[in-house]
Amino acid sequence: MKSTARFKFPTWIWVALIHFGLSNLVLPLTLSLTARAAGTLDGPGFGVTLLVRLTKLLHLPLVTLALFPREWFPGGWVYVPMALNSLIWACGVCALIRFYRRLGRP
């Protein structure tokens, strides 16, 4: 059954925007919680560990693996590789969607 909703942007742009937004939302939250948990005797806890792993997953492959020298993107320019990383994710997600749609057809 086809959706009746009409979007002006292709799917990959929506996926890239959502990924970029989540990456920028999770990163400051993770940094603040890990800084707060660093002084505790019990360790970071499950929530902080989960956020750190989510941050690493969202920033994979380009940002996590540091496939670019940090000196190339000083200050606010760091958003350029983060946006490219989101585009890589969007291409991958859209490719998986197409693959599963082709599997369903005889």
More confident residue, 50 or 106: 50
The mean predicted confidence, pLDDT, of the chain is 84
Query: Sign (positive/negative) of CA torsion 67, 68, 73, 75?
Result: positive
Residue 64, pLDDT above cutoff 80: no
Residue ranges per structural domain of the chain: 18-104
The Cα-based distances of 34 to 37, 42, 54, 60, 64 in angstroms read: 5, 13, 13, 20, 17
Residue 42, pLDDT above cutoff 90: no
Residue 75 sits at the vertex; the CA angle it makes with 37 and 31, to the nearest 5 degrees, is: 10
Residue 99, pLDDT above cutoff 60: yes
Predicted TM-score (pTM) above 0.85: no
